[in-house]
Structure 1
Amino acid sequence: MERTTLDGTWTVEAVRGPAAADAATTPIEAVVPGVVHTDLLRAGLIPDPFDGDNEAATQWIGDTVWRWRRTFDWHAPAAERHDLVADGLDTLATIELNGIVVATTANQHRSYRFPVGHLLREGTNELVVTFDAPVPAAERLSELHGGELPHVNHHPYNALRKNASNFGWDWGIDVATSGIWKSIGIESWSGARIASVRPLVDIDGTDGVLTAHVDVELAGSGSRFTQAIGSAPVTAAGGADTAGLEARVTLAPHRASAASAVTGTEPPVGAGAVGVSVVGGTTAVGSRRVADGSATVRLVVPEVAVWWPRGEGDQPLYDVRVEVGDDVWTGRVGFRTVTLDTAADAGGAPFLLRVNDRPVMVRGANWIPDHAYLTEMTPERYADRIQDAIDANMNLLRVWGGGIYESDDLYDRCDELGVLVWQDFLFACAAYAEEPRLRDEVEPEVREAVTRLSPHPSLVVWNGNNENLVAYAEWGWRASLVGRTWGNGYYRDLFPAVVAELDPTRPYTPGSPFSFDEYLTPNDERNGSVHIWDVWNRLDYRAYADWQPRFVAEFGFQGPPAWSTLTAVVHDEPLDPDGHEMLVHQKADQGNRKLADGMRGHLPEPTSIEDWHFAAQLNQAHAIRFGMEWFRSRTPDNTGMVVWQLNDDWPVVSWALVDHAGIRKPVWYAVRQAYQPVLVTVQPGASASSVLDVVVVNASGAAVEGQVEVARMSFDGTVLASGSFPVTVGAADAARVALPASLAVPGDPASEVLVVTGTLGRTVYDFAEVIDQALESAPFTTAVEPTTDGARVTVTATSYARDVSLLPDRVDAAARVDDGLVSLLPGESVTFTVTAAPGIDTGALTTREVLRHAGSLLR
């Protein structure tokens, strides 16, 4: 296989569209992979859509037909076939080679391969790719189904197979892109080509079992359009050309040094898969004759090294090499099993993930595309966001259905670090037509996605859609659809059939939320998974405690990004929560009103923009921590949660824990605290005789025991009552200690706290809301020590200091800090380590707007 890359420098020009497109009719330099927005930005033809209110000024881009063009020299290698291979086209594309139409495409979420040997010529060739304008195309295509089907937001994104959030979301900018967004090139080959490999794993006792499914295409197949990856392979008539062709599979520990090879004996064709047993740590090799365009090779590794989720064990990986003729495929696998228990029990139906038969208490976050321009994502950016998840004690990321099937950079990193992945199919918050016009794109898309992602041990759940089932049941869709198809056939028939065929090693759930019972609403709290959005939308965050969910797949609360991230793009004078540009960067329906309502009764009403910013961030942290600790205190009835959302795709007020600039918001520190593997939390008493309980939650795979020390203290540090209690907590379980009234009932809620310490952890419980507390405005002393790469700021409490947080980006946008949201009792200290460029103003790190705490909001 020889690849001629066509990545690099192209030209792009506007072909047809609004008057604003006239400025771009002259071809400009384009970079492939890329999208038109980044090319126009690079050429200086548009202002940055992220900045100010430029989103509106650049809407014409999504209404414009764009054409990419390049010439290239071609000197044909000695090969039978020459295929144009496009890994990703966004989205409705017409491909022409030397003036001849090769194909039209209609799906951003899949790749394409077209034989073009008959169109190539020696010397100079020209490739042209023209993209239909995505916004009017979506509107036009939606009419083919009898008018727009129900969807959220303002464009009918559900009419075509394109990243839904690219059209804008309640946290996302509307920058409907076009472009060759993944690599493109010409592959020249002869004989046989490996079309796809699905190396599925299992564990049998102590043995690891690899079943490699290999699909092969023959150069002489005569097929003009290669079938989708994962579908039945293309072969020559009768399969005669496969005579003597073998698929050889080699399995070895990842980055193993020397290893001895053991080769299996091939049985006659049709006699079943080859089994090869080898000693653990050696290389296993097996082969199978190709018949009818496919082969299945089975390898058995005794005493296999088992892959575990983060916190449960190690993540050993094995390299897989597949050879067919001269073609080679390489990948990695990890040996583990995964099941999802949703069987009815006395309380309803659980949503319990088990890996290697061990229950996993999920501590996760929802993942959205990390940049509105997908081609701006880099391996380093993926690594940073995944590290944000790991540092916050997470063990799962849910790749949400309104985005994309992510780059292997994400899944590879999760494989290596033990972060589980829940993968949605890309259907979100909308009804989708099931007629051939769309279904003919959906099936090859999902087959390719399942095939491509099947090697990754981190991937543990396939999910049919996001909120479409609950929307049909509860959002009024049924009446508005008047009998039209809406996607149910995908979620109940097509997707489970594809998963059963291509990847039966993983569980499938039809949707999120889902109750696993046809006679229940999909969002029933006692069955399966739920999404909780009445909190944030209309209820105080303490209403989280009204829920008793088995598993929470979405819940969240908004807060603004870091000050430097916000003010880099919002330039209102004066800066105001309801300023014009501020509202451009607040996409939620009545978002600022909900922020204000959410603070009411918890925090004083802010009197400055600086106080509004910190108060909104702090309230987000309080709300999420309250909900998370409540849900976790219900372990094992509750088996986990996936907070909305980890990241942002542009600078915006949102539910994210980490903003678009990579700055961890105060809520991130709250999540880190609430996701500790062993969590100590104070909750309302579970019995009539108990006012408060200390609950110790153990998410680990082994029992823990220790001593819990509890003290009721005044803000000046005086101990008013104390007690000590032994606690033993089983694996994936929780234990409660009912507190006596002397500890649970304060004499003065405004000036007392409950402090829980001991060998299992520490927490501070506030008897009153910030607005009702007698917090001091200056409850600590500070000391600053400059370092070679920033500073260390030590804060020592002289009175109770609640939620001390250092916001160094207000001094230097590049500065970062290692801790936050720390509550201190008199005499206690915390040292914040600030990483920054040389020359940061260390004196500014202790000013009121930089070193914040809850008491600083009180007047």
Structure 2
Amino acid sequence: MNLKHFYILLAIAILFNSCAKDDRPTVVNIHQGWEFKQQTDTTWNSATVPGNVYSDLLAHNKIPDPFIGSNELNVQWVPTKNWEYQTTLNLDEKTLEKSHIELTFEGLDTYATIYLNDSLLGKTDNAFRTWKFNIKNLAKANNSLRIEFQKTSTHEEKEAAKLDYVLPPGARVFTRKAQFQYGWDWGPIINTSGIWKPIKITSWNNMRLQDVHFKQETLTDSLAQLSVLYTISSDEAVEETSFEIKYDNTTHTVKSPVKKGTHTYATNLQIKNPQRWWTHNLGEPYLYNFDITLKEGKHLKAQQTAKIGLRTIKLIREKDEKGETFYFKLNGIPVFMKGANYIPQHSMQDKVTDAHYEKLLNDVVDANMNMLRVWGGGIYENDIFYELCDEKGILVWQDFMFACAMYPGDKAFLKNIEQEAIDQVKRLRNHASIALWCGNNENNEAWHRWGWQADKTEAQKEEIWNSYLAVFDRILPKTVAKLNPEIDYWESSPSYGRGDKRFQFEGDAHDWGVWHDAYPFERFEEKVPRFMSEFGFQSFPSYEAIRMFTQEDSISINHDSYITHQKHPRGFKLIREYMERDYPVPTSGDDYVYMSQLTQAKGMTLGMEAQRRAMPYCMGSLYWQLNDCWPVVSWSSIDFIGNWKALHYKAKKSFEDVLISSVVENDTIKTYIVSDKLAPLKGDFFLDFVDFNGKNIHNVQQRLTIAPNTSQLVARTPVAHIKIAPSAYVMRGTFTSNSSSSSDSISNTTSSLFYVTRPKDLKLSPQDVSTEVTKTETGFTIELSAKTLQKDVFLYTKAKGHFSDNFFDILPNQTITITFKTEASAIDDLAIKTLNGIQEKLSL
């Protein structure tokens, strides 16, 4: 051997010996080969995992689609049966040789008995918990895995019989699963059962890294200090391990002994001149990428990554002369929260793909929202939801999954939900998007103001309330304080409902005076709270969604399927009642659907803008609701198909970072400029009063400086100064500005239109819209123009796609360009509907 070959072999040997031997845990999903059946049947059918029994029955045509017609009524037998799932679990020799083999169920719905090789492995009773079982002693090369799911009513009836009173609203309170599956005033009764989240086999040798928590201790412009808490399980004491974190060309290494058993260790990181995470409207939602490894000698024991955003987020509650504040400070800055309440995207969660999450959250950003409230009657969302919120700069108000109910307080139940809270807080606490943990939705309000105490003795009321306190004043806040102390806890949303006069002056508010009490939309301007976390109004969904559940091409508002697709008993009556106040009431189905969406959008944007004008007194506007879980008449701004209703298009305008908003008070038009920008804005402000033929009636012009992060009254215009009837003109506001802190010369223009009178009273000219359509690489561009003002122009087609704007106004002699993003090769059926056209039709 020559010297050259010797050195080559020596280098190879050194390289080989210096490389860590891969001894990381092996993780395998157990999603293949599953079968299911009703417990009393003998025939097994193929199943999809993750999934649920409804999806599997649908796949085999054993039930009709519950989303179509009134089929929901025909599938109610499903949750009255017990169901079984089974598969063959094959393990290779390498897995069997590992010292630990663990079977993990991330979500079983709900009362499950698990058998491995016909041996009882365990039982579960909470769809929100992760269940882990050591199967080392049971595992072999070929294993049978069988899960029996017991119907929820068996447990619910048993628990209810233990009490001498009924816990409102009924049986669902005893079962820890998605509460909306029992039916809501926007959702069907689809009480699922099955394996709704992944099942995994994890095998490893003597040591395992179980959890890494990046806990932010301090954050300044010059320095971020983090504690990194990492949990290791080891079969024996080890003299030295190497825990390593790499980030931004920096390597942080901790060499330390590890104790036998499961223990949590800590190390500290410092990041100089840290980049902060911001909501997308205020800055960059910057995320640090951390690469984490754990080694024992030359053995690589763990390798994982984490994306961490550095930011401070605090809920500020301070007494003042009106009551008590309720607002969030992000990185020390008060931020007005603009957004909506989020519900599960599908009654059958397995139907929700990553693409659905991506699209919906893009729609949130596109509508200028910076916060979503994950409502407490649904689910703790999949990891992808929070990851995308982190990346896109959307804050999350996270409810624990309790809604509109009083829950039991026995030891077993309390222990169960404590572990549920531990599982979920530990899973989500690393996400920069988490802004608040909230105990429940409306439970406090319901107990005190919904008449739930009427049939209870004093002793029963005390017991029920003590159970409430045990959950929401002790277990949940203590869990958050221990595991995620950086984030505030809020007991119940709202603090006060509309029946308590304090709802307007402290805490967060759910104001359902509009809708449930049929108060006029103007109530939103008269009763502005500190933070509006729920308010809403219904409308019909898109034509596409209606065609889906009616299975008819024509659009009807009297179809039999509305028996199940309008869940509010007074829903249709209220839609019409409000429509009659503000709009002409059409007779045709498609016109009525269009008008219902305009009615919803008008009322809701009236509220959003009133709340924004009132800042900093009011610092949040989260409407009910963002999305649907099936095709339905509801409060959503995006329907089940993913189509934007008028509300979402108009919310996008009402949530712009710089908003021109007007209101008539004492026969005077008051015009405000609301700015969420963190720097002052200087620019030219114009008000133009124009009749519907384009004639200029009155003008106002000012040079303005708008303070950062505020609402500023900029103009008062007496209605009497406008020398034509309010029904014959529109006021256009325009503000062209530059940020005073900006070094560039780019200007931004904000504009808005304001009508003094109700839409139905406007003296509009007949529909007169000209269009020119051009094919593009991603769809089409549509140029629209009109000689006279055209109100609420609605474009629609059967081609699947998205209009960049819709339900907009065209000023006289104005040309507007709209893009339609679609994969369709043509949109030959493109149609236009306007308020002008509806009025013309009614007058004939």
TM value normalised by structure 2: 0.89
**Of 79, 94, 98, the match for 1:62:** 79
**Of 397, 401, 407, the match for 1:426:** 401
CA positional deviation for 1:830:
1.2
Deviations 1:198-235 (A, max 9, x none): 2212434321122122233344xxxxxxxxxxxxxxxx
Residues in 2 aligned to 1:511 and 1:132: alpha-carbon distance in whole angstroms:
32
Matched to 1:702, the amino acid is A
Matched to 2:294, the amino acid is E
CA positional deviation for 1:740:
3.3
1:5 aligns with 2:29: yes
Contact 2:793 2:833 in 1 (8 A): no
Match for residue 239 of structure 2?
244
CA positional deviation for 1:572:
7.1
Pairing of 1:52-131 with structure 2 (within 5 A) = 52-74=69-91, 75=93, 76-121=95-140, 123-131=141-149
Match for residue 211 of structure 1?
227
Runs of 4+ in structure 1 over 6 Å off? 288-292, 851-854
CA positional deviation for 1:27:
0.9
Q: SS of the counterpart of 1:762?
A: strand
CA positional deviation for 1:310:
1.4
Deviations 1:570-613 (A, max 9, x none): 14798542432023111123111111112121111221111111
1:801 aligns with 2:761: no
Matched to 2:197, the amino acid is K
Contact 1:454 1:503 in 2 (8 A): yes
Tell which deviates more after alignment, 356-365 or 243-252: 243-252
**Of 709, 712, 715, the match for 1:732:** 709
1:579 aligns with 2:559: yes
Matched to 2:103, the amino acid is L
1:496 to 1:131, Cα distance in 2 relative to 1, 3 A: same
Residues in 1 aligned to 2:556 and 2:59: alpha-carbon distance in whole angstroms:
31
1:492 aligns with 2:473: yes
CA positional deviation for 1:847:
5.0
CA positional deviation for 1:119:
1.8
1:464 to 1:260, Cα distance in 2 relative to 1, 3 A: closer
1:15 aligns with 2:33: no
Q: SS of the counterpart of 1:601?
A: helix
Residues in 1 aligned to 2:115 and 2:65: alpha-carbon distance in whole angstroms:
31
CA positional deviation for 1:649:
0.8
Matched to 1:731, the amino acid is P
**Of 507, 514, 517, the match for 1:528:** 507
**Of 424, 427, 433, the match for 1:452:** 427
Contact 2:405 2:443 in 1 (8 A): yes
1:748 aligns with 2:725: yes
1:549 to 1:847, Cα distance in 2 relative to 1, 3 A: closer
Residues in 2 aligned to 1:250 and 1:552: alpha-carbon distance in whole angstroms:
42
Tell which deviates more after alignment, 441-450 or 76-85: 76-85
Residues in 1 aligned to 2:775 and 2:273: alpha-carbon distance in whole angstroms:
52
**Of 199, 202, 206, the match for 1:184:** 199
1:616 aligns with 2:611: no
Matched to 2:774, the amino acid is E
Q: SS of the counterpart of 2:364?
A: helix
1:92 to 1:853, Cα distance in 2 relative to 1, 3 A: farther
Contact 2:767 2:837 in 1 (8 A): no
1:424 to 1:353, Cα distance in 2 relative to 1, 3 A: same
Match for residue 227 of structure 1?
none
1:136 to 1:671, Cα distance in 2 relative to 1, 3 A: farther
Matched to 2:830, the amino acid is L
**Gaps (5+ residues) in structure 1?**
17-23, 220-240, 254-258, 270-287
Matched to 1:817, the amino acid is F
Q: SS of the counterpart of 1:823?
A: strand
Contact 2:547 2:554 in 1 (8 A): no
Q: SS of the counterpart of 2:404?
A: coil
CA positional deviation for 1:83:
1.5
How many pairs are equivalent? 791
Residues in 2 aligned to 1:575 and 1:798: alpha-carbon distance in whole angstroms:
31
1:845 aligns with 2:830: yes
CA positional deviation for 1:765:
1.0
Contact 1:633 1:697 in 2 (8 A): yes
Residues in 1 aligned to 2:527 and 2:449: alpha-carbon distance in whole angstroms:
18
**Of 834, 839, 848, the match for 2:820:** 834
Deviations 1:693-727 (A, max 9, x none): 11100112222232221122221111121111233
Match for residue 222 of structure 1?
none
CA positional deviation for 1:616:
0.5
**Of 484, 499, 505, the match for 2:486:** 505
Q: SS of the counterpart of 2:448?
A: helix
Deviations 1:171-194 (A, max 9, x none): 112111111111113222222323
**Of 686, 691, 713, the match for 1:714:** 691
Contact 2:397 2:434 in 1 (8 A): yes
Matched to 2:54, the amino acid is H
Q: SS of the counterpart of 1:758?
A: strand
Contact 1:782 1:846 in 2 (8 A): no
Residues in 1 aligned to 2:293 and 2:128: alpha-carbon distance in whole angstroms:
25
Match for residue 31 of structure 1?
48
Match for residue 472 of structure 1?
447
1:242 to 1:541, Cα distance in 2 relative to 1, 3 A: farther
CA positional deviation for 1:89:
0.6
Match for residue 276 of structure 1?
none
1:818 aligns with 2:836: no
Match for residue 744 of structure 2?
none
Residues in 2 aligned to 1:710 and 1:29: alpha-carbon distance in whole angstroms:
66
Deviations 1:13-50 (A, max 9, x none): 0015xxxxxxx652100011111111111112121111
Match for residue 644 of structure 2?
664
Contact 1:647 1:658 in 2 (8 A): yes
Contact 2:234 2:262 in 1 (8 A): no
Residues in 2 aligned to 1:290 and 1:720: alpha-carbon distance in whole angstroms:
84
Deviations 1:612-642 (A, max 9, x none): 1111111111111111111111111111111
Q: SS of the counterpart of 2:314?
A: strand
Q: SS of the counterpart of 1:600?
A: helix
Q: SS of the counterpart of 1:84?
A: strand
1:128 to 1:755, Cα distance in 2 relative to 1, 3 A: same
Residues in 2 aligned to 1:168 and 1:852: alpha-carbon distance in whole angstroms:
39
Residues in 2 aligned to 1:261 and 1:42: alpha-carbon distance in whole angstroms:
51
CA positional deviation for 1:757:
1.8
1:768 to 1:779, Cα distance in 2 relative to 1, 3 A: farther
Residues in 1 aligned to 2:183 and 2:641: alpha-carbon distance in whole angstroms:
19
Q: SS of the counterpart of 1:301?
A: strand
1:599 to 1:526, Cα distance in 2 relative to 1, 3 A: same
Matched to 1:188, the amino acid is S
1:526 to 1:247, Cα distance in 2 relative to 1, 3 A: farther
Deviations 1:122-159 (A, max 9, x none): x32111001111355444433334453112xxx63221
Contact 1:379 1:409 in 2 (8 A): yes
Contact 1:364 1:395 in 2 (8 A): yes
Match for residue 781 of structure 1?
770
Q: SS of the counterpart of 1:799?
A: coil
Match for residue 231 of structure 1?
none
**Gaps (5+ residues) in structure 2?**
1-24, 737-748
Residues in 1 aligned to 2:42 and 2:75: alpha-carbon distance in whole angstroms:
16
Match for residue 302 of structure 1?
272
Q: SS of the counterpart of 2:510?
A: strand
Contact 1:242 1:290 in 2 (8 A): yes
1:245 to 1:57, Cα distance in 2 relative to 1, 3 A: farther
1:166 aligns with 2:181: yes
1:94 to 1:547, Cα distance in 2 relative to 1, 3 A: same
Residues in 2 aligned to 1:474 and 1:249: alpha-carbon distance in whole angstroms:
54
TM value normalised by structure 1: 0.88
Pairing of 1:593-608 with structure 2 (within 5 A) = 593-608=573-588
Identical residues among aligned pairs (%): 29
